[in-house]
Structure 1
Amino acid sequence: MIVFDLKCGGGHVFEAWFGSSVAYEDQRVAGQVRCPMCDSGDVTKALMAPAIAAKGNRKPDAPTPGAIKAVMQRLASQQAEALKTSEWVGTAFAERARAMHLGEEKQATIHGQTSVADAKALVDEGVPIAPLLPTAAPKTLN
């Protein structure tokens, strides 16, 4: 089977399947290929982009160290901006985040410290949290 993009004289573009290029040509000449939108028999092949598959053994290019550094600097900068309006809650982070999630405490933007186990428990409970980059990151990436 082969698929062609076809175009009628009215400008409608549509797709049709044929057994072969010869089958398409035979059906077109016999007036059997018609536009499904306007029923025009004035149908020709439309321009098509070839479907070329990527080589199966090709791996994507690895990001360059410069690209990684740029992304990390941007993340660190965005994090620094977000922390300006965030409250430091220290080791009470898990308790405060959970209380806000349950509606026991007023919503606020906070940051602090917690154990990996407590962070996993918060995620399992559906509490929206995210890890932070080390605070020295903006200075050390220069």
Structure 2
Amino acid sequence: MIRYALQCDHDHAFEAWFGSSADYDTQFQSGRLECPFCASRQVTKQIMAPAVSTSASAPDTARRDMMLEAAGAIRKKIESDFDYVGDAFAREARAIHEGDSEKRSIYGEATAAEVKALEADGVPCTPLPSALSPRRRDTLN
């Protein structure tokens, strides 16, 4: 992931994350970048210093553990209170959104293409925080 400082032609400054510099280039060339303040599509990168992590700026273990516990609690709440629909998630989310199915909170699995189609159609969805074992916590950055 890479974070860029961006600015529109109306001098609105904002930041955005991209999977790579090539992802930024693709979105820029296709005109998909948009200012969140005024919706201008005349967006350019600004000069910024690289972020270099030092021991003084690296997140401490307690903060990381707190974030992982919070993510785990969110996941546990969803798993206990929402209906699990398995790999029918995209179909069921769309049916709920369109009023063809009972309105309720659901979770399940969806492919990247299905999620992209849901987002394009305005169907609200978001990924669940992953369940991390204590063993994997030690390998996180």
1:94 partner letter: A
User: Residue in 1 aligned with 2:91?
Assistant: 95
1:124 partner letter: A
Instruction: Tell me if structure 1 keeps the 8 A contact 2:95–2:101.
Output: yes
TM, length-normalised to structure 2: 0.52
Give the alignment of 1:1-142 within 5 angstroms.
Answer: 61-135=57-131, 137=132, 140=135, 141=137
Identity in percent:
27
Aligned residues: 86
1:139: how far off?
A: 5.5
1:134: how far off?
A: 2.9
Runs of at least 4 residues off by over 6 Å? none
- Cα deviation code 1:83-108 (max 9, x no counterpart): 21111111100000001111111111
Whole-angstrom distance in 1 between the partners of 2:83 and 2:95:
15
1:72: how far off?
A: 1.6
- Cα deviation code 1:25-64 (max 9, x no counterpart): xxxxxxxxxxxxxxxxxxxxxxxxxxxxxxx97x693422
RMSD: 2.7
Whole-angstrom distance in 2 between the partners of 1:139 and 1:68:
12
2:76 partner letter: A
In structure 1, stretches of 5+ residues that fail to align are 1-55
1:138: how far off?
A: 5.9
Whole-angstrom distance in 2 between the partners of 1:138 and 1:132:
15
> Which entry has the higher C-alpha Rg, 1 or 2?
1
